[in-house]
Amino acid sequence: MITGIVQGVGFRPFVYRLATELNLSGFTFNNSQGVTIELQGNSTNITQFVDTLTHTPPPLARIDTFEQVEVDSLANCSGFEIIHSESDCSAQVAISADKSSCPDCLSELNDPTNRHYRYPFTNCTNCGPRYTLINALPYDRPNTSMAHFTMCPECERAYQDPLDRRYHAQPVSCPHCGPQLTLTDNQGAAIAHKDAALQQTVERIKAGEIVAIKGLGGFHLVCDATNHAAVTALRLRKQRPAKPFAVMCADIETAKSLARGSDLAWQVLTSQERPIVLLDKHQTPTGETQLSPSVAPTIDRIGLFLPYTPLHHLLLQALKRPLVATSANRSGEPIITDSQDICTRLQGVVDCILDHDRIILNGCDDSVVQVIDDTVQIIRLARGYAPLTMHCNRPVPQSTLAVGAQQKNSIAFGFGHNLVLSPHIGDLFSLEAEQYFIDTLATFKRLYAFNPEQIIRDCHPDYASSQWAEQFSQLNGHCQPTQVQHHYAHILSVMAANQHTGKVLGFSFDGTGLGEGRELWGGEAMIADIQGYQRIAHLKPITLIGAEQAIKDPRRIMLAMLFEQYTLEQVLQLPLTNIAAMPQASIINLHKLWQKGVATQQTSSVGRLFDALACLLGVIETTQFEGQAGMIIESLANGLTEQQVANAGLVFNLPLIDGQWQTDLLWQQMMDVQLSRGDNETTKALIAKGFMDCLADAAVSLAKRHPQLPIALCGGVYQNRYLLSLTRQRLDEHGLNWLDTKGVPVNDGGIALGQLWYGIHQ
């Protein structure tokens, strides 16, 4: 028995060819556990078979376990065959993620003599949809959304031929028997079909229209990225004023004309996972690019990705220009997978819809990654990477479900030797998002016949995921769900990625999460293991005036920091952009709330400190999207020259006294520089750099006190490339060992895996 990612990846045809080459007889079949192979023949050849299969499996396969037993030989056994799959109620096989088009399929797509010429759904065993169209295990065509497409004789022949690369490729089809395109208006009325639909879509995009286009795991909202009016219109219609848009480029040459990246970054961009990769903008001396400035305003980075379906390739070949391709949804809601929902919810956003009749059973957004030094950091774990299945060295004692956090939600499952982290679900702030959460749960429960015996949730009682866990336990007679503190779960997620159970020193820096005693944490240092944690340091709390309102309007946090050090009259006279822009009456009212402690909350969040600094520097007023302040502060620091840094000689200090990093002392240092050096871009950039340098030094200084402990750097703040790179570099300089996240998001997308790691060890 072989387990791992061994179904839907050409594993059995590979086994068939290898056994045939080595003159071995026997058979192989799929079941819900994995793949079974029975061999008979020369012992030397069997040894060679096992060696080849374990060391050079098919490109998309991953072998987790390889169990061998001897069986009695059979008389009259000749030849090797692939027999029908078996199904049972206890699935263990790892589901493969969707993969981008392979070179062979793209070659056929562009070959006028091939029957797949210009067919937008061309695929084979080595590429195409997997997770997004599977309904049940084992992974066979009747268990997918291709079940109602009857194969034509030519596709049937390829599907049944073990020597053909389309052997048992479940989505196999061609223009005669497979899915087809339909272009509709924004109310769903058909305009054109098949190739005519594609050609009209091209013309409409060239004319500046916004089109919803169905991909593998959902719809994109697409427009010409070089057309400023079209990009601006998309922002207005989607009510997304500042958050960057991703751009799809036809090829790596186009991408390199728009951005700069390391060799590793280009490798990731062209990998079969085809994620969105965050790269440095490549600008001309005048600061212009061929893209609309509205694609990624105010920051020095851009998210690029390459086409990953035949449809995308055909589209970009015809357009010969980069496209904005952003998830089709309303702000904060999950990606839309059905054209009827586009008509209902985004009718005022799109001009037309390019749809097709292959149903998306399981929604899956685009993955987002960045390269930091020589490591890949996953920001959004989704298409190409997810579901992420990890082999657990020890068996999971009972089926365990972890329901994750409120933002960037994902869910995790533990059973057998498997730890499974779902694709990105999103923020659970709407009924649609909560339904998507429930649908994703149902998908995995159905695929794995999974019934949780233990449920793990966040400590925050108001999270939608926490409330679901409580209701499920009451309805199903389970004991109370186990609660895991948010920032401890961040650290546990890094431990899980490394199969680590011993003590670590974790730095959990993020926006906010519920701490002990209803406090809001977010700047924590903990010594932790799988049994618990000790909070050994944290930011000295800062005040959120208006509580959650301060997260959306971080000027309130800035004012609270200023009120700590200046009188109200002095604050009103400060020569700061955001002070001058606010009505004095508003500042006076906020001062009263701060003074009386009414409608305020304390937080130790590093993310909120970034927000306050961005307001101090006058680069934001209100927060348009999560992490905006951190992106802008990083962009400011990246714009400095070495000479400017050397001439400034600016160093801030963040002392640790009685377990608290003295936030107020750091703030006063930054204020002194801001007021003494004047409100100019260089001063802002120097303060931004000095602030992040100071955070890195504070973490490293504490780590030096615990040199024997591995270090986990986690939480959304560590998506800041400058901060993470500098912190790792300084840890390396002192010979301190840090743990890589190995494909698990450091943000709240990894929380569920951390919760799961705790639960399975209790």
Return the SS3 of 497: helix
Q: For residue 536, give the nearest of 305, 688, 418, 701 by alpha carbon.
A: 701
CA angle at 335 for the pair 334 and 339, rounded to the nearest 5°: 125
Rounded to whole angstroms, how far apart are CA atoms 597 and 409? 32
Token pair in block for residue 151: 């194969």
Rounded Cα–Cα distance for residues 496 and 488 (Å)? 12
Cβ contact 302:259 at 8 Å = yes
Interatomic CA distance for residues 421 and 131, integer angstroms: 13
747 catalytic per annotation: no
CA distance 93 to 414: 13
Q: Report yes or no: 346 and 282 within 8 Å, Cβ to Cβ.
A: no
Residue 420 CB-density burial (10 A; 0-12 exposed, 13-18 middle, 19+ buried): buried
* Start-end of H helices in 221-357: 228-238, 252-258, 263-270, 310-319, 339-345
Whole-angstrom Cα distance, residue 653 to residue 671? 13
Output DSSP code: residue 364: -
CA distance 612 to 563: 13
Hey, which residues does 414 pair with through a beta bridge?
A: 400, 419
CB 261 within 8 A of CB 88: no
For residue 119, how far is the Cα from the chain centroid?
Answer: 30
Contact predicate 193/47, CB 8 Å: no
CB atoms within 10 A of CB 55: 8
Cα–Cα distance measured from residue 208 to residue 210, given in angstroms and rounded to the nearest whole number: 7
Q: What share of the chain is helix, strand, coil (3-state, %, to 5)?
A: 35, 20, 45
Smallest CA-to-CA distance from 92 within 449, 375, 368 is with 449
Clarify whether 31 is annotated catalytic: no
Q: Nearest Cα to 324, choosing from 332, 333, 315?
A: 315
Beta bridge partners of 413: 401, 420
CA count, 13 A, side-chain hemisphere, 599:
11
Rg value, the chain, Cα:
27
Query: Counting Cβ atoms within 10 Å, is residue 481 exposed (0-12), middle (13-18) or buried (19+)?
Result: buried
Could you give the count of Cα atoms lying within 13 Å of 290 in the half-sphere of its Cβ? Answer: 14
Of the listed 12, 380, 608, 728, which one is catalytic? 12
Residue type, 630: G
DSSP 208: T
Which phi and psi angles does 375 have, rounded to 5°? -130, 150
Report in angstroms the alpha-carbon separations of 271 from 9, 10, 581, 668: 16, 18, 47, 47
Three-state SS letters, 700-744: HHHHCCCCCCCEEEECHHHHCHHHHHHHHHHHHHCCCCECCCCCC
CA distances from 465 to 402, 425, 572 (A): 9, 11, 43
Kindly name the residue from 30, 329, 362, 418 that is annotated as catalytic: 30
CA 466, 468, 470, 474: dihedral to nearest 10 degrees?
-170
For residues 691 and 682, what is the distance between their CA atoms, to the nearest angstrom? Answer: 14
Rounded distance between C-alpha atoms, residue 355 and residue 336, angstroms: 12
User: What is the rounded CA–CA span in Å between residue 446 and residue 31?
Assistant: 15
Active site residues: 12, 30
